[in-house]
Amino acid sequence: MAQDDRVEAGAEKALPMLRWLRILVTSLAVVMGLGVLAVVAILWLRLASPPLPQLPDRIALPQGATPAAVTFARDWTVVVTETGEVLLYDRQGKLRDSVTP
């Protein structure tokens, strides 16, 4: 009636661990696929960075300077401009030092 269309019908009978090996390989492939999806999701969530924080109103940048990075510390604020200039401001917003590349 129904014919077995596997290539080797007696392979699982000859090697009893073959079925276990197939299940193990399939489950490991599924776990690896889920792991890759998890890594991609974590990278996507972590690398979607928010925009830079707003500079306080009391800090006035030099004419034509646009901030590329801002660092807030206890007593000072550091602004790195797009041209690479580093500006150091105190708490009151007064420019204390600048370093030009």
Mean pLDDT of the chain, nearest integer: 84
> Is pLDDT larger for residue 19 or for residue 30?
30
The predicted structure's pLDDT at residue 62: 87
Report whether 68 contacts 86 (CB < 8 A). Answer: no
pLDDT digits (tens, 9 = 90+) for 57-90: 888 888 888 888 888 888 899 999 999 999 999 9
Please spell the DSSP secondary structure of 34-76, one letter per residue.
HHHHHHHHHHHHHHSPPPPPPPPTT--PPTT--EEEEEE-SSE
Report whether 78 contacts 86 (CB < 8 A). Answer: yes
- Chain CA centroid to CA 15, Å: 45
The predicted structure's pLDDT at residue 27: 97
Q: Is the pLDDT of residue 40 over 60?
A: yes
